[in-house]
Homo-oligomer: A and B are copies of this chain.
Amino acid sequence: MKVVKFGGSSLANGTQFKKVANIVLADKQRKVVVVSAPGKRNTDDIKTTDLLITLANEVIQGNNKENALSQVVERFADIVEELNLDRGLLSEIEGHLKDLIASYKDDPDRLLDALKASGENQNAKLMAAFFNQLGEEAHYVSPDEAGIIVTDEPGNARILPEAYEELSKLRDRSGILVIPGFFGYSKMGHIVTFPRGGSDITGSIVAAGTEAEVYENFTDVDSIYSVNPNLVEYPKEMKEITYREMRELAYSGFSVFHDEALQPVVKKKIPVCVKNTNHPEAEGTRIVSDRSHEGLPVVGIASDKGFLSINLTKYLMNREVGFGRHLLEILEGEGVSFEHTPSGIDNMSVILRDHQLKNGKEERILHRIRTELSVEDVQVERDLAMVMVVGEGMYQTVGVASMATAALSEAGVNIKMINQGSSEVSMMFGVDADKADLAVHSLYHAYFTPVKQ
């Protein structure tokens, strides 16, 4: 049995719905279908979810909502008309949206969550209806009915452990089951959405709960590439990578598969296959628990911007038991999480995502560092990027670091920080943000361009 998830661009219009139906029906094992809201039909289009957020904001701000509401309904109308589905579905959608607005109009967080989720929810109903129209047994299954019970944090739902047992019962149901992605229900009965990557999370949870043989994730690329295709022409396709490799890449800017979405399948060791709805014959990329480590140990290069470093200096710092703990406590006190803490003998740095230091947090943290830690010097270094070279097996390979540093040196990129050794999967370089693309480019060519080998 397979769980198949389709992203927004795979369900953007009727033509895409037909491709999805063909893919699902081509393999009897594809029993559970998780769907996103309709995505962009072309580059200038607006995603349904964004239309729904606009609608929510109009309601919250007390503006006239009719225009925003009709834009949402029109997106679904476009699909209903192209597929010649029952027009009654549209009035149901409109009625449903109005009900949500009426229920939650005094609770902006819940209104936003409920409206955001309705893009997936309505699309799942249309998809089930389309299967029925094709003469297939198919059922819309709401997350509630499926057993997707989550924590009650609007916009940041986490699955509750007891959900998995309920989900396992889906295996016994007949027909194709179409489940909307992106949200679950709290125990109180509220709609609560998952964080970024939400529909991928639903698919992963359902695959884990039903112990699927594979979790197929259909998107609009043939494969996950070894590097951002916007930076390198014709980048190498990845055939197979491990969960850990994917996690490191996803963390640092690979937007194909959100890292949190992997967690449920990792535990059950269910392979994930990323495939292209528009080109289903392509092999795709398999994300697995273990792979063979033949050839070059590097699988991908990624980068992420928006970091800063707080650099501390204090003579004989390393003699002070408790210094590092105290520093981390100061950050924790402001709810700030850190990425790395490289330390020398009399120096320690904390690297963190810079958006965290707003609203006076930076000043308060620096003040506490100066007064409580009696440092000689504390400096904030901004506009840093982290560039990551990822691949299992690197750890035991002589010369991997050398190739990277040589490539960066040749490209004239000054390495501000190197982090290697904590992870057996990756090696990380801190560089100035304006050199990040150049760094990625040079590293990609060092590891993947055949002449260099």
Q: B-contacting residues of A (Cβ < 8 Å)? A: 244, 247-248, 251, 259-260, 263, 266, 309, 311, 315-316, 318-322, 324-325, 328-329, 332, 335-349, 395-399, 401-402, 404-406, 408-409, 412-428, 430
Contact = CB atoms under 8 A, between A and B. Distances in A.
11 contacts: A248-B344, A251-B318, A321-B332, A322-B332, A325-B325, A342-B421, A343-B419, A344-B426, A349-B421, A402-B408, A405-B406
Nearest to A316: B263
A248 B346 CA distance: 8
Contacts of A324: 328, 338, 341
Contacts of A422: 311, 342-344, 347-349, 417
Given A325-B328, A405-B402, A347 B424 contact: yes
A420 B415 contact: yes
Contacts of A259: 316
Contacts of A415: 398, 401, 420-421
Contact of A321 (B247, B248, B335, B408): B335
B318 A423 contact: no
A228 to B, nearest CB: 18
What is the oligomeric copy number? 2
Contacts of A244: 346
Given A322-B332, A325-B325, A414 B402 contact: no
Nearest to A267: B315
A144 B335 CA distance: 51
Contacts of A329: 325
From A309, A348, A399, A427, residue with most partner B Cβ within 10 Å: A399
A406 B398 CA distance: 10
Closest 9 CB pairs of A and B: A417-B421, A344-B423, A402-B409, A342-B422, A325-B328, A402-B405, A399-B409, A418-B420, A418-B418
Contact of A345 (B251, B266, B421): B251
Contacts of A401: 405, 408-409, 415, 418
A309 to B, nearest CB: 8
Nearest to A399: B409
A64 to B, nearest CB: 40
A340 B343 contact: yes
Nearest to A335: B321
A217 B434 CA distance: 47
Given A337-B321, A415-B401, A247 B345 contact: yes
Nearest to A340: B343
Contacts of A348: 422
Contacts of A420: 342, 415, 417-418
A406 to B, nearest CB: 5
Contacts of A428: 344
A35 B152 CA distance: 73
A54 to B, nearest CB: 30
From A244, A320, A427, residue with most partner B Cβ within 10 Å: A244
A217 to B, nearest CB: 19
A416 B421 contact: yes
A210 to B, nearest CB: 21
A315 B266 contact: yes
Contacts of A341: 324, 341, 343
A37 to B, nearest CB: 26
Nearest to A401: B405
B426 A414 contact: no
Nearest to A411: B398
A316 B349 contact: no
Given A248-B345, A398-B415, A421-B430, 9 more contacts: A321-B332, A322-B328, A339-B343, A344-B426, A347-B423, A401-B409, A405-B405, A416-B421, A418-B419
